[in-house]
């Protein structure tokens, strides 16, 4: 009986121990303090503006919303990613061989610094290490539509 009680207590402790999410683990792998500063704010902005559709883990919504995590379309062009964040996107796209045709609305409320922080977050997790993406870079990207848009 004593062993069962201790087993129950141990199981309860393990079950109640908070587990860090995969995103938190990725954030903890960032060693550059400047990247971390941007990424922390970017994570919050991503969760507020993007995570509802693309999901906080970046895996999208099945056949409706494309993934960002491990997505060829996302990795191919940071310029395009920034442009889409601001201006949205309509029409069919192919991501990892799958076709998607759900419109993404523009996010005109996001300032260049917001987009820089989201972009820094996204391009420094999931195995990528692009460093800080500055608001100046974002402003430059937003001056012209990318060729592959």
Parse the chain into domains and list their residue ranges. 22-142
* CATH class of this structure's domain 22-142: mainly alpha
* pLDDT tens figures, 35-54: 999 999 999 999 999 999 99
pTM score of the predicted model: 0.82
88 touches 115 (CB < 8 A)? no
Q: How many angstroms separate the first and last alpha carbons of the chain? A: 67
* pLDDT tens figures, 64-118: 999 999 999 999 999 999 999 999 999 999 999 999 999 999 999 999 999 999 9
Residue 83, SS3 per DSSP: helix
- Report how far residue 48's alpha carbon sits from residue 71's, in angstroms, rounded to the nearest whole number: 21
Overall size of the chain counted in residues: 149
Is residue 18 over pLDDT 50?
A: no
- Report how far residue 116's alpha carbon sits from residue 95's, in angstroms, rounded to the nearest whole number: 23
The token duo for 32 is 């550059």
């Amino acid at each position: 009986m004593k062993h069962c009680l201790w087993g129950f207590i141990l199981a309860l402790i393990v079950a109640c121990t908070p587990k860090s999410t995969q995103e938190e683990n990725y954030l903890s792998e960032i060693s550059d303090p400047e990247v971390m500063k941007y990424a922390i704010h970017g994570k919050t902005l991503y969760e507020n503006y993007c995570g509802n559709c693309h999901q906080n883990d970046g895996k999208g919504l099945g056949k409706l919303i494309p993934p960002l995590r491990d997505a060829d379309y996302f990795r191919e062009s940071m310029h395009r990613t920034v442009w889409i964040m601001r201006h949205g996107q309509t029409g069919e796209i192919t991501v990892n061989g799958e076709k998607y045709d759900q419109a993404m609305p523009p996010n005109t409320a996001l300032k260049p610094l917001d987009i820089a922080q989201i972009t820094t977050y996204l391009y420094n997790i999931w195995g990528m290490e692009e460093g800080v993406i500055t608001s100046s870079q974002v402003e430059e990207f937003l001056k012209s539509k990318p060729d592959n848009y």
